[in-house]
Amino acid sequence: MEAFDTDEAAYLRFATRDQAADYAASLEDGFVIHYIVMDFAGRDDASKEHQRWAMERLAGTWQDYEGTFPGR
Protein backbone atom coordinates (compact mmCIF):
# COMPACT_ATOMS: atom_id res chain seq x y z
CA MET A 1 0.00 0.00 0.00
CA GLU A 2 1.12 3.54 -0.72
CA ALA A 3 -0.25 6.65 0.96
CA PHE A 4 0.00 10.41 0.87
CA ASP A 5 -1.78 13.31 2.55
CA THR A 6 -3.33 16.52 1.32
CA ASP A 7 -5.43 19.12 3.08
CA GLU A 8 -8.57 17.43 1.73
CA ALA A 9 -7.88 13.75 2.50
CA ALA A 10 -5.44 10.95 3.10
CA TYR A 11 -5.04 8.95 -0.13
CA LEU A 12 -4.29 5.24 0.09
CA ARG A 13 -3.49 3.13 -2.97
CA PHE A 14 -3.96 -0.62 -2.69
CA ALA A 15 -2.75 -3.51 -4.84
CA THR A 16 -6.27 -4.63 -5.74
CA ARG A 17 -9.73 -3.13 -6.05
CA ASP A 18 -11.03 -5.62 -3.49
CA GLN A 19 -8.47 -4.49 -0.91
CA ALA A 20 -9.42 -0.86 -1.54
CA ALA A 21 -13.14 -1.62 -1.25
CA ASP A 22 -12.63 -3.59 1.98
CA TYR A 23 -10.63 -0.78 3.56
CA ALA A 24 -13.11 1.88 2.42
CA ALA A 25 -15.96 -0.11 3.97
CA SER A 26 -14.25 0.22 7.34
CA LEU A 27 -14.21 4.04 7.18
CA GLU A 28 -16.86 6.35 8.54
CA ASP A 29 -16.03 9.07 6.03
CA GLY A 30 -14.32 7.96 2.86
CA PHE A 31 -14.54 7.52 -0.89
CA VAL A 32 -13.15 4.74 -3.07
CA ILE A 33 -12.53 4.47 -6.78
CA HIS A 34 -10.63 1.62 -8.36
CA TYR A 35 -7.48 1.09 -6.27
CA ILE A 36 -7.54 4.36 -4.34
CA VAL A 37 -9.31 5.29 -1.10
CA MET A 38 -9.76 8.84 0.14
CA ASP A 39 -10.05 9.03 3.94
CA PHE A 40 -11.54 12.32 5.17
CA ALA A 41 -11.07 11.63 8.90
CA GLY A 42 -9.45 14.53 10.68
CA ARG A 43 -9.75 16.84 7.69
CA ASP A 44 -12.20 19.23 9.37
CA ASP A 45 -10.28 22.32 8.26
CA ALA A 46 -10.71 21.48 4.56
CA SER A 47 -13.77 22.92 2.90
CA LYS A 48 -16.43 20.42 1.85
CA GLU A 49 -16.35 22.00 -1.60
CA HIS A 50 -12.62 21.31 -2.00
CA GLN A 51 -13.11 17.74 -0.81
CA ARG A 52 -15.85 17.29 -3.40
CA TRP A 53 -13.59 18.69 -6.13
CA ALA A 54 -10.84 16.29 -5.06
CA MET A 55 -13.25 13.34 -5.39
CA GLU A 56 -14.34 14.55 -8.83
CA ARG A 57 -10.74 14.95 -10.01
CA LEU A 58 -9.84 11.47 -8.78
CA ALA A 59 -12.91 9.95 -10.41
CA GLY A 60 -12.12 11.80 -13.65
CA THR A 61 -8.70 10.16 -13.81
CA TRP A 62 -10.24 6.99 -15.20
CA GLN A 63 -13.07 8.71 -17.09
CA ASP A 64 -15.31 5.71 -16.51
CA TYR A 65 -16.73 6.54 -13.08
CA GLU A 66 -20.50 6.28 -13.06
CA GLY A 67 -21.19 6.34 -9.35
CA THR A 68 -22.30 9.11 -7.07
CA PHE A 69 -20.25 11.16 -4.65
CA PRO A 70 -20.93 11.10 -0.92
CA GLY A 71 -22.48 14.24 0.51
CA ARG A 72 -19.81 16.55 1.85
Q: Could you count the other beta carbons within 10 Å of the beta carbon of residue 50? A: 15
pLDDT of residue 69: 87
pTM comes to: 0.89
Q: Which residues of the chain have pLDDT under 70?
A: 72
- Domain, as residue range, for 41: 2-62
For 32, residues 6+ apart whose C-beta sits below 8 A from its C-beta are 20, 21, 23, 24, 38
> Is residue 68 in a domain?
no
- The answer to whether residue 70 sits within a structural domain is no
What's the pLDDT at 61? 84
Query: Would 22 be classed as within a structural domain?
Result: yes
- Residue 67 placed within a domain: no
pLDDT value, residue 65: 83
Please state the length of the chain: 72
Residue 56 within a domain: yes
